[in-house]
Amino acid sequence: MSIRLCAFALLALGVGSLVLSTARSPVRVLAAAAPERGRVSVYKMGGDIDVPDAPDGANVATMGGNIHIGNVGDSVSAKTMGGDVVIEHADGPVDASTMGGKITLRQVTGPVHASTMSGDVTVHLTGTSGARRDIQLSSLAGDIRLTVPKDYGMDVRIKVEYTQGSKQDFRVVQHLGLRERQTTEWDTSRGTPRKYIYVSGRVGDGQNQVTIDTINGDVILKQE
């Protein structure tokens, strides 16, 4: 029986958790009509993963390939050693990481941790205020874009590093009244000489911690 059919069969039986461990072929986990489907777990040695629907949450990982997750009704963990990560909608905490690729979280209502070794990070936080929803975003080479709701109170810490051989015109775009400080001397303590842009401050009640770090990339932070 194929992996695709096995996934459907297990889900249709209403098992508490769907666990797939495969080689390098792509995996698409099908949604099923059963009211109790359990948490989706997929672990692969390589290849893409596509999960259209995970009402009880998902843990997915691949040694190399793209990850796409549609609607998640709980927390989600998505990790790849090389490839893009896209999550359409998540109603819980998100932990996403890739060693090389973009991370795109189109609608997230819970706290977010997203990191890439090389690529852009785009996050759209939605929903009303209430429980604490901290955000930590990082890239070692790429732009970071974060959009938050109008009533999202935050304590912001942003750091942009740019190296001596780069274009050196990186910036932090925000219209929230945050403080900005730029260093003037090259820091040689970490190998390649680099300078820093620091942006910090509170917005609203400052309830949520927002930490953003990137190297040789812009940061765009805005409220809806």
Residues 180-205: pLDDT tens digits? 999 999 999 999 999 999 999 999 99
Indicate if the pLDDT at residue 82 is higher than 60.
yes
The predicted pLDDT at position 66 comes to 98
The predicted pLDDT at position 9 comes to 30
Question: Average pLDDT for residues 39-52, to the nearest whole number?
Answer: 95
Residues 127-182: pLDDT tens digits? 876 789 999 999 999 999 999 999 999 999 999 999 999 999 999 999 999 999 99
The predicted pLDDT at position 20 comes to 54
The predicted pLDDT at position 218 comes to 98
Task: Read off the tokens for 129.
Answer: 């205020």
Which is more confidently placed, 18 or 167? 167
Cα diameter, the chain: 63
- Side-chain-side CA neighbours of 194 within 13 Å: the count stands at 16
Give the Cα separation of 47 and 57 in Å (integer): 21
Helix (H, G, I), strand (E, B) or coil at 32: coil
Q: In what order do the strands lie in the sheet with 208-215?
A: 17-22, 39-44, 58-62, 76-80, 94-98, 112-116, 135-139, 208-215, 154-163, 194-203, 179-182
Indicate if the pLDDT at residue 32 is higher than 60.
no
Give the Cα separation of 216 and 141 in Å (integer): 6
What global pTM score does this model have?
Answer: 0.86
The predicted pLDDT at position 5 comes to 31
Residues 95-122: pLDDT tens digits? 999 999 999 999 999 999 999 999 999 9
Give the Cα separation of 168 and 106 in Å (integer): 29
Task: Read off the tokens for 33.
Answer: 């009509």
Which is more confidently placed, 24 or 153? 153
| Amino acid found at 139 | S
The predicted pLDDT at position 24 comes to 59
Give me the numbers of helices (H) and strands (E) for the chain, helices first please: 1, 20
Within a 10 A sphere around the Cβ of 6, how many other Cβ atoms?
13
Contact 56, 72 (CB under 8 A): no
Which is more confidently placed, 73 or 7? 73
What percentage of the chain exceeds 70 in pLDDT? 83
